[in-house]
A and B are shown apart, each in its own frame.
Chain A
Amino acid sequence: MISLEVKDLSKSFGYRKVFEGINFSIQSGKSLVITGKNGSGKTTLLKILAGFLRPSKGVVIISLDGQIRKKEDKRKLLGFVAPDLFLYDELTALENLEFLVQVQGLGFNKSELNKKLEEMGLRGRKDDLVSTYSSGMKQRLKYVFALLNNPQILLLDEPGSNLDEPGLLLLDKIIEEQKKRGILVLATNDQRETKHGDEILNLDEQSFSVIP
Chain B
Amino acid sequence: MNEMTDAMTLAEFATLLDRYGPDIAVWPLETRTAAREAARQAEAQALLAEAERLDRMLDAMTPPAPSADLEARVQALAATQTGGHWVWMMFARPVWRPALFAAAMLVGVYLGAATLPTAFATADEGFDFATVAGGGGALGSLDIVEE
Are A and B a genuine interacting pair, yes or no? Answer: no
